[in-house]
């Protein structure tokens, strides 16, 4: 068995109260063990209360054992492949999405290009942020792009580390009053996901050209889940 726990929020019932089975499953695997976990946990609960996705069960894949803190995108891809080969719940027609930051490839474009080729070969779609997930979180704030992202574009792209924290991480804390790595309330921002998805269109949404550009296609993933 792969070192992953599949956590589902599926609970659909027919008009007469009988439990319904999903037509297929969508497995969600993400890099962060705190920020992304808090966000996607809240997002999926919110969508579930809306009855979305209507026919697809979304399952968060939480890493366990020695892989609990594994965050390298290539390792996440290997875990996803093991879920397909060894998992009990993965079936034909199911899908796995992997969310990760591209900042670690800022000075290794060849390695990133190779990674995307591996994704293409596996049939899995990468959902990425550059430099990191905090950029997508900023889009949830009122006037987040105009007030916080656009004026600081070059600093966000450079994303220097000071006192153990990257620039966009510190910027998000200044904008929201929360440390995204330590405050689980960051998940509450999911209530403003529609705003973030709309604002994301101002950024580059193509993973192939992510390095060196403000990039996010996490909103694309959310819209896909809602329309499935």
Between these two residues, 93 and 137, which has the higher pLDDT value?
137
pTM: 0.89
What are the tokens at 76?
Answer: 């996440």
Mean pLDDT of 68-87: 82
Provide the pLDDT confidence category of residue 4 given band limits of 50, 70 and 90: very low
Tally of domains within the chain:
1
The Cα diameter of the chain in Å comes to: 58
Task: In whole angstroms, give the CA distance from residue 55 to residue 198.
Answer: 24
- Full domain range(s) for residue 128: 4-227
């Amino acid at each position: 068995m792969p070192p992953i726990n599949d956590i589902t929020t599926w609970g659909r019932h027919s008009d007469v109260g009988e439990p319904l089975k999903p037509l297929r499953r969508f497995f969600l695997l993400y890099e962060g063990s705190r920020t992304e976990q808090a966000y996607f946990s809240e997002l999926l609960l919110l969508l579930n209360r809306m009855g979305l996705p209507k026919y697809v069960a979304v399952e968060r894949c939480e890493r366990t054992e020695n892989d609990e803190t594994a965050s390298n995108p290539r390792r996440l891809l290997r875990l996803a492949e093991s879920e397909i080969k060894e998992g009990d719940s993965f079936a034909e027609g199911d899908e796995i999405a992997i969310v990760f930051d591209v900042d670690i490839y800022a000075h290794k474009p060849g390695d990133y290009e190779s990674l995307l080729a591996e994704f293409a070969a596996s049939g899995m779609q990468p959902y990425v942020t550059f430099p990191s997930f905090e950029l997508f979180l900023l889009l949830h704030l009122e006037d987040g792009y105009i007030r916080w992202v656009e004026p600081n574009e070059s600093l966000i792209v450079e994303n220097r580390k000071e006192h153990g924290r990257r620039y966009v991480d510190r910027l998000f804390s200044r904008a929201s009053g929360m440390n995204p790595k330590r405050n689980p309330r960051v998940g509450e921002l999911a209530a403003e996901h529609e705003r973030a998805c709309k604002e994301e269109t101002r950024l580059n949404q193509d993973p192939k050209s992510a390095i060196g550009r403000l990039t996010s296609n996490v909103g694309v993933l959310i819209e896909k889940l809602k329309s499935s």
